[in-house]
Amino acid sequence: MRTFGKPWLRGLWLPVATVTAMMHAGSAFAAFPEQPVRIIAAFPAGGATDAIARVVASELSTLWGQTVMVENRTGAGGNIGANYVAKSPADGYTLLMASPAETVINPLLYSQMQYDAEKDLTPVSQAGSAPLLLVAHPSVPARNVKELVDYARQNAGKVSYASSGTGGPQHLAGEQFKLMTETDILHIPYKGGAPAITDLVGGQVHIFFAGLPPALPFVREGKATALAVTTKDRSELIPEVPTLVESGLSDFDIENWQGVFAPGGTPPEIIDEIAAALRKVLDRPDVKEKLANLGISAAPSTPGEFKKFIQRQRTLYTSIIEAANITIQQ
């Protein structure tokens, strides 16, 4: 006697098993996160990267109903924190709040890296953005960029600019400025933005591509002269100051951004979940206001948009580093 039940059951079993597995996977994924999440900040507390990480962590904690904590792992220009995340499990529970340094610039400058920024870190979403502010000591006889360029050309090799360290966005903004204006300006690197702005105000250096929040109080007090912002659009925090593009340096567009990365190999579903949560909290008016008070504009994006942005950043900084012949001794 022929039995038809078994082949029929076998044919039904595969799709049922598949659907059941998908349902279990879906229910497990829907519970993300099921445990505390860590956001690694590769720079010290008090800086822009740490500040936006703490705002985001607080908001995600409320949204997810899970603890989201910020952990500072600093050193080597951000490489220590980035390497820690790159070597972490690819499960979404360890994230990096990054700057251009450890994800774009350092791999172009350091001959030896412990991680591959393109393979070991997956872009999730941009989080924030801020322009750099070109400021001058009041003794510099320039009230706009054209006057600064004229002064620098008349005093070739005698005008100096500060940076928060070799290879950072402030340094590369200065080198881009030199290349585009064909001026000979001396680079004075500092160990951080605080001592750089202190010496600018004290007259030890002439100009500084400063972070917006620390520079604004000195501009308001008349201790520094704001000449231009480095982004293609004016800043809402100091809208009266023109951009470098408006000042005659076409295509000059350098921003001090922050963004979230996950370890390479993190499942796309988890990447999308985290990115959606970031967009939800960063689009809130009260969160935008908190960041604005820190001098940061909220700038959420999709993973695909952020990946393309990172590629454009690599192209930009590669061109500056090669044209200026910048190297770092290890």
Read off the pTM.
0.84
**Could you read off the pLDDT of 18-37 as tens digits, one per residue?**
444 444 444 444 578 999 99
151 and 141 in contact (C-beta within 8 Å)? yes
Cβ atoms 93, 36 nearer than 8 A: yes
pLDDT for 296 beyond 70: yes
> pLDDT by residue (tens digit) across 197-231?
999 999 999 999 998 888 989 999 999 999 999 99
Quick one: average pLDDT of 305-322? 97
pLDDT above 90 coverage of the chain, percent: 80
Of 234, 242, 235, the C-alpha closest to 143 is: 242
The pLDDT assigned to 126 comes to 98
Is the pLDDT at 54 greater than 80? The verdict is yes
pLDDT class for 330, splitting at 50, 70, 90? Answer: low
Spatial neighbors of 131 by CB under 8 A, at least 6 apart, are: 212, 229, 230, 231, 235, 254, 255, 256
Tell me if residue 146 falls in helix, strand or coil: helix
Lowest mean pLDDT among 28-32, 185-189, 248-252, 275-279: 28-32
Which residues have C-beta within 8 Å of that of residue 72, sequence separation ≥ 6?
Answer: 40, 41, 42, 43, 44, 45, 50, 81
pLDDT of 159 over the 60 cut: yes
- When pLDDT is averaged across residues 237-264 and rounded to a whole number, the result is 96
Tens of pLDDT, residue by residue over 96-153, are 999 999 999 999 999 899 999 999 999 999 999 999 999 999 999 999 999 999 999 9
| Residues 280-291: tens digit of each pLDDT | 999 999 999 999
What average pLDDT does the segment 49-76 reach?
96
Backbone angles phi, psi at 136, to 5 degrees: -130, 150
Q: Calculate what percentage of the chain has a pLDDT beyond 70.
A: 90
Tell me what the mean pLDDT of segment 66-76 comes to: 95
pLDDT at 276 over 60: yes
- Token pair in block for residue 131: 């322009």
- The per-residue pLDDT for 30 is 54
The predicted pLDDT at position 56 comes to 98
Query: Sign of dihedral through CA atoms 271, 273, 277, 279?
Result: positive
CB atoms within 10 A of CB 133: 26
Could you give the CA distance from residue 23 to residue 218 in angstroms, rounded to a whole number?
A: 58
Task: Give yes or no for a contact between 270 and 262, defined as CB atoms under 8 angstroms apart.
Answer: yes
Task: Calculate ∠ Cα 12-18-19, nearest 5°.
Answer: 90
Which of 58, 129, 59, 48 minimizes the C-alpha distance to 284?
Answer: 59
Average pLDDT, the chain: 90
Band the pLDDT of 181: cuts 50, 70, 90.
very high
The predicted pLDDT at position 212 comes to: 87
Domains and CATH numbers, the chain: 30-130+256-324 (3.40.190.150), 131-229 (3.40.190.10)
Task: Annotate 46-67 with b (16+ C-beta within 10 A) or e (fewer).
Answer: ebbbbbbbbbbbebbbeebeee
Amino acid 77: pLDDT? 86
Q: For position 21, what pLDDT does the model report?
A: 43
Structure tokens of 118?
Answer: 């393109």
Q: What is the mean pLDDT of residues 162-171?
A: 91
pLDDT in the model for residue 207 = 98
